[in-house]
């Protein structure tokens, strides 16, 4: 869905969280999330919410990130201060709404 730059993913109740975690992760973080079609919103059916969160965390924990020039890194840092501030504001908003980091 193209929602004015706020592209959404929808997880329906018959989905298998472990099977979709990799696709959801890369849907959001391909090219470090710096493409116009990356997922910025993820709507998950209540019955799968915890399992999807756990599967995404488990997948992300195995992705090497660091110096963008290092061959060992799959994902590098956020490219500039303005984008970093935007990401930080999303994290703070999630925390304020009960999210955990």
Active-site residue list: 2, 36
- Cβ atoms 44, 8 nearer than 8 A: no
- The C-alpha atoms of residue 18 and residue 29 are separated, in whole angstroms, by 17
- The C-alpha atoms of residue 62 and residue 21 are separated, in whole angstroms, by 12
SS3 65: strand
Distance of CA 3 to the CA centre of its chain: 17
Tokens of 83: 């984008």
């Amino acid at each position: 869905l193209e929602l004015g730059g706020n592209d959404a993913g929808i997880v329906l109740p018959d989905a298998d969280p472990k099977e979709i975690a990799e696709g959801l992760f890369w849907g959001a973080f391909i090219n470090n999330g710096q493409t116009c079609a990356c997922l910025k919103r993820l709507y998950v059916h209540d019955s799968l919410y915890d399992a999807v969160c756990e599967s995404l965390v488990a997948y992300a924990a195995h992705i090497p990130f660091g110096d963008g020039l290092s061959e060992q890194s799959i994902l590098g840092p956020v490219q500039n201060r303005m984008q970093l501030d935007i990401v930080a504001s999303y994290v703070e908003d999630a925390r304020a709404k009960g999210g955990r980091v």
